[in-house]
Amino acid sequence: MSSIHIKQGHIIDPANNINRIGCVYVAEGKIISVTNEPAGFKADSVINAQNKIICPGFIDLSTRLREPGQSRKATFKTETTAAASAGVTTMCLQPDTSPVIDTPAVIELIKEQAKKANYPQIYPISALTRKLEGIELSSMLSLKQAGCIAVGNANQPVRNLLILRRAMEYAASHDLLVMFRPNDYWLGNNGCVHEGAFATRYGLPSIPEAAETIALAQCLELVELTGCRVHFGQLSCKRSVIKIHQAKKYGLQVSADVAIHQLHLTENDIIPFNSNYHVLPPFRTETDKQYLRQGLASGSINSICSDHQPHDLDAKLAAFPETEPGIAALETLLPLMLKLVEEGIITMQQGIASLSENPARVLGINSGALTEGFAADVCVFDPQMTWQVNSDNWKSQGVNTPFWGQTFKGRVTHTLQAGKIIYCLEKAEL
């Protein structure tokens, strides 16, 4: 394995409190120094990071790669290429694949597919209940032994609170993280937009914020009862942020993330009948957006995720309520985070921590930091480089994004995964 010298970049490593100009030395797939050049070090390749930022590779807590089972939408190859171009070196794969990730055999299949795509750091989130039906618990212990990083039920409901309680007790007994997206299925009533002015104006089926906050409150009570570690994914409203803040203050083992697009868009930004704005949870009010931003800045919300969901063209061609929800979001993750920094919502250190150190802590893995001895998962990006979201620059098979045609600032130039250069902008543009 080659040795790499990343030189004269602005190193930002929140986990180790590093914020300075310097070099990073990589050998045998690991970080060997971020201070002085090791004795006898000979670099096989040099990356000039002048005027660029060197930081830990990003960890995405919620992605869908559409394999196995939905390769018409996307493949491991296309989406791992997109991830590498976005500086993402680790991804958590949601369990709603086909077949569902509820057996060790499916986990092994995912590992094989990841290996073929030369992107081994894909962590499956296994189903909390068999086939995600919300009725019968999955075999969590065998799934953990097979390699799942956590358990969850994706966007599918758990039939009742007793089943959820038993699931959380089971998970707690095996020290498994539960990843829970709070949404009361019945209150949500198959809605597609926030219950507010936009829904009323266009007569669209809506989802009240109570669908999220009531489910969140119930789960928090069960966290206290069971002692289970729970990560709440893709929060979308003001009262959710308040409840998470209170739960942390109370000492519960909880964490939370927010999808990057929820920090920038509201129901007022939706272009009527443009299904690229159809997401779950839906875009909510300006007040909700500001509270999400404040929650991120204060630490109530730990992490940012892409909630990447690529779709084929047909999935977005029907009437708005009948289209499939989700945004292809990997490649806009970094520039949208940098936009928060530019607007003064968070610092650069906070932004990078929310994409690296904090997700690593949620998962309990030795990653998300430029620590000597850790795997060399590194992202090098130019915060000033501008680029346009178009077919020339886009890697994902899914083009379902509301940001198509927009110009962003901030682009990844190099991505290293376990000391291997998996993306180089110059080579990609040849």
> Strand 4-13 relative to strand 18-27: parallel, antiparallel, unpaired?
antiparallel
Q: Are 280 and 326 in contact (CB under 8 A)?
A: yes
Residue 76 burial (CB < 10 Å; 0-12/13-18/19+)? buried
Element (H, E) at 293: helix 286-298
Tokens of 149: 């990083």
* CB atoms near residue 225 (< 10 Å): 12
Cα–Cα distance measured from residue 310 to residue 326, given in angstroms and rounded to the nearest whole number: 7
Cα–Cα distance measured from residue 5 to residue 13, given in angstroms and rounded to the nearest whole number: 17
* CB atoms near residue 356 (< 10 Å): 29
Catalytic status, residue 314: no
Number of H helices, E strands in the chain: 13, 18
* DSSP letter, residue 60: E
Residue 294 burial (CB < 10 Å; 0-12/13-18/19+)? middle
Q: Are 192 and 222 in contact (CB under 8 A)?
A: no
Tokens of 127: 């189903």
Among the options 13, 102, 257, 307, which is catalytic?
A: 307
What's CA 320's distance to the chain center, in Å? Answer: 25
Q: Are 69 and 99 in contact (CB under 8 A)?
A: yes
Q: Which amino acids are annotated catalytic? A: 307
